[in-house]
Structures are given as C-alpha cells and as structure tokens.
Amino acid sequence: MIRTSLLIDIFPVFYQSFFGLPELTDSRGQSSTIVYGTARKLLGWIKQYRPTGIYIAWDHRSPVRRQILPAYKGTRTEQKPDFYRQIQQVPEMLAAWGLPVFEVPDCEADDVLAGLVQAIPVVQPLTVLTVDYDLLQLVSPRVTVVTPNKIVRPDNFEAHFGLQAEQWLDYKVLTGDASDNIPGVPGFGKLTATRKLVQHGSLTAYQSWLSVAAKLDRADREMLNHPGRLLRNRELMRLRPPQLPVPQPPAKLFDFPAALAYCESRGLGSLVAPLYDAAALSGSR
C-alpha cells in the first residue's frame, strides 16, 4: 500500500451524520450526532488508508461567486438550528484529537483543498475525500480523488467519465451544476458535452473551430449564442486556491490520549475501542 495523506472535505460528513444516524445525546445532555458521526468516519478512514497525515478543510460561503451569480447555491435548503449548533462542537473535537483544520474567510472548502494541494510538498501522495465532483479538477499523478462511489486517478479517469482529467473543468462549464444552481449551456447534457470535448480536445479548441466551421449543429449554435455563460461558468467553477502555510508533517497522526479523554468526557464510549485500534494502526499510542 502506498502511504498517502488525507485531505478531507469535512462538511458532507456533517450532513451524512445528521441525517443518516439516530439522534444521539452525550453525557453533557447535548446533541452529539454530528460529533459522533464525524469521529466514527475519521476512525474508519484511518483504518482504511493508514495515512501519513490528515488535513481538514473547513467551508465558508463565497461572496465572490455570489457576486458573479446571485442565485449561486440559491436552491440549498436551510437546516434546523440544531444542525448548526452541533457543527459548532466539531472544532473542539478536532482540536482535542490534534487534527489540523484549514479555513480561510470567504473561502469554500473546495478552494481550501486546492490550496492544500499546492502547499504540501510535491513528493507527498495525496488523497482527497469528498462528495463534490468539482474537486476532480485536482486529479493528477500525485492526487487521487475519492467520492462515495469512485476512486479517481489519471489512469482511470477516462473509464469513469469518457474524458481526460484536464478536460473536466471544460465539461463542467458546458454542463453546469444543478446542485450549485449553475445553469449550463442549453443543449449540453453529459453526452453532448463529452462528445464535443472528445472531438475537439478542449473548450478553447472547440470555440476556435466554431469561428470557422461551415456547418453547425444545434449544440454548436447554442455555444455561439451563450459566450457570456461560458465565461461566467468558468469563473464560478474554477478552483481558487488560497495561499496556505506549508503543513508540517505530524510526529503522530493524532493525539491519542487527548482524543481518548475527549471521548470519555462526552460519554462516547462506543468510540473507545475503534480509537485504540486506530492508534495502534497509526502508531499514535
């Protein structure tokens, strides 16, 4: 097994925990479903990957993208107050475990993860854990992106998506992103976008061909009719990596005594045995 560092898009874990687990209460009488679910997920990843480091990206809203498209993520549903209260407990847990959290004001987790890829020395293999396909822009010989149902590397990117990794941003520009409320170019679903990019290689080459082509199909005409949408979507969807300090390799993956004390103080007894296992596997005891 090639040892890798984990770069974690943590907010999806909060949703998975809150909506996927029964409601839990800790010894303080506080709702602890998200804390418990996040801790359990982290321990599972330590067991699965035996990483050399764990780096967590925190998410903030992006005013830059909302200035470009006011309706950006406008279809997202506001959650119950208890959801946000539980999230506020997570930094305490991560600090107790000694796991570094990277956040930048007004910067989405996607961008922070891109910044981490740039900041971590090139010799270090990296695995990005996420549910967000925008982060497939990061796939490279040193960066593997893992989603709930795919492990994506340069050598299998085409098998998964019919494209090369370097074409992914162009594909997203054409198709848009319904989950972020970003409309694509009319007529460009997955199949059409893939076919045009395979045919032309890149969006730039496709646009150059359109400027001289004698015969155009419907999708070609829609491309010519929506130059502004192409520019807007690229600005919305490209990753904007902030400059981050170079993360220092940890002496131990996590602080086992402090993590154990935290779990015991919260009454999270079912995490104690997995915590011991993770510490033994990672050399953190």
Is the torsion defined by CA of 218, 223, 229, 234 positive or negative?
A: positive
Q: Do residues 198 and 258 lie in contact, with contact meaning Cβ atoms separated by under 8 Å?
A: no
Look up the CATH number of domain 165-237: 1.10.150.20
Cβ atoms within 10 Å of 254's Cβ, excluding its own: 21
State residue 249's pLDDT score. 79
Q: Which region holds residue 162: left if phi is over 0, alpha if psi is between -120 and 50, else beta?
A: left
Longest alpha-carbon distance in the chain: 72
pLDDT tens across 51-75, in order? Answer: 999 999 999 999 999 999 999 999 9
User: In the numeric block, which tokens belong to residue 178?
Assistant: 């319904």
**What pTM was computed for the model?**
0.95
Q: What is the pLDDT of residues 139-196, one digit of tens each?
A: 999 999 999 999 999 999 999 999 999 999 999 999 999 999 999 999 999 999 999 9
The rounded distance, in Å, linking the Cα atoms of 101 and 117 is: 14
Mean pLDDT of 98-116: 96
Give per-residue pLDDT as tens, 236-284: 999 999 999 988 878 899 999 999 999 999 999 999 999 999 999 998 8
User: CB under 8 Å to 250, separation ≥6 — which residues?
Assistant: 53, 98, 100
Q: What is the pLDDT, as a whole number, of residue 1?
A: 59
Q: CA 204, CA 197: separation in Å to the nearest integer? A: 10
- What are 33-56's pLDDT values in tens digits? 999 999 999 999 999 999 999 999
pLDDT band at 76 (very low <50, low <70, confident <90, very high): confident
Q: What is the pLDDT of residues 222-239, one digit of tens each?
A: 999 999 999 999 999 999
- The mean pLDDT value of the chain amounts to 94
Contacts of 36 (CB under 8 A, 6+ apart): 17, 21, 24, 268, 271
The DSSP 8-state label assigned to residue 31 in this structure reads B
Domain boundaries, the chain: 5-162+240-282, 165-237
pLDDT of 128 > 90? The answer is: yes
* pLDDT (0 to 100) of residue 29: 87
Bridge partner residues of 102 (DSSP): 57
Write out the CATH class of domain 5-162+240-282.
Answer: alpha beta
State the pLDDT at residue 122.
Answer: 85
Given this model, what pLDDT does residue 78 score? 87
- Number of other CB atoms surrounding residue 121 within 10 Å: 8
pLDDT at 13 over 70: yes
Same fold: 5-162+240-282 with 165-237: no
